[in-house]
Amino acid sequence: MPNSTTSANNTRDLDNAQPESVLDSKPSRDVDLNGGEAQGGQPLSYQSLGETLTKLGLTPEDDKDCWVMKVKATTDDQISWTFPIAVSLSPDQSVVWITCPIIQIDKNGAPNSQLLADLLSANYHLGVSFFVIDPKHFLILQQPTANAGVTPQLLGSNLKSFFVGLKQSEPLYKSLVGTSGGGQGGGGGGNPFQ
């Protein structure tokens, strides 16, 4: 997981992020998977995963166990967000994970029950993406894909749909992140999926 979390209206983060339009890019050619021709059922290696992201026009940074791209977008409520999107392989390399850490939640100041209910409700509508709170209390949106036959086109499509879900869910988490530089507090929300 990347060392940073989602931020709102943070000029430094926005300056160092790619525009969301980069997720609309189409790869120029297939990537060489594990030293051979790109083949349908061949799983991606960690190196070929990074190459695939680059072929998609992204500029991933190698964070040793995941490739991280910072993507910026302005949501309908005119908040400029920076999202650190990580793409990694499971330990056995059977799953490609796309994740975005939203914020670390204070153990002693847990989100209210309505927010948790709204996040669980959003999981129903997000398809293969879903919200979790990990053992370190980070609120994360994540999406798994079987690591078999993952082409640049498929990975690009999955990244785009993940990002759409991340933006649509913004009313749910913006009160946790805040909207004045990434701190706690800030505007309200409501469940956009109801």
Q: Residue 8 corresponds to which tokens in the numbers above?
A: 């709102």
Instruction: Quick: pLDDT tens for 87-101.
Output: 999 999 999 999 999
Question: Taking the C-alpha atoms of 158, 191, 175 and 134 in order, what is their torsion angle to the nearest 10 degrees?
Answer: -50
* Interval 106-123 mean pLDDT: 77
Asked if the structure places residue 187 within a domain, the reply is no
Asked if the structure places residue 54 within a domain, the reply is yes
Q: Residue 50's domain is classified under what CATH number?
A: 3.30.1460.10
| CA nearest neighbour of 138 among 176, 188, 89, 92 | 176
As for how many domains the chain has, the answer is 1
Q: pLDDT > 70: what percent of the chain?
A: 80
Asked if the structure places residue 194 within a domain, the reply is no
Asked if the structure places residue 79 within a domain, the reply is yes
Buried b (16+ CB within 10 A) or exposed e, 59-92: ebeeeeebbbbbbbbeeeeebbbbbbbbbbbeee
Asked if the structure places residue 190 within a domain, the reply is no
Structural domain containing residue 92:
7-174
Asked if the structure places residue 188 within a domain, the reply is no
Asked if the structure places residue 186 within a domain, the reply is no
pTM over cut 0.85: no
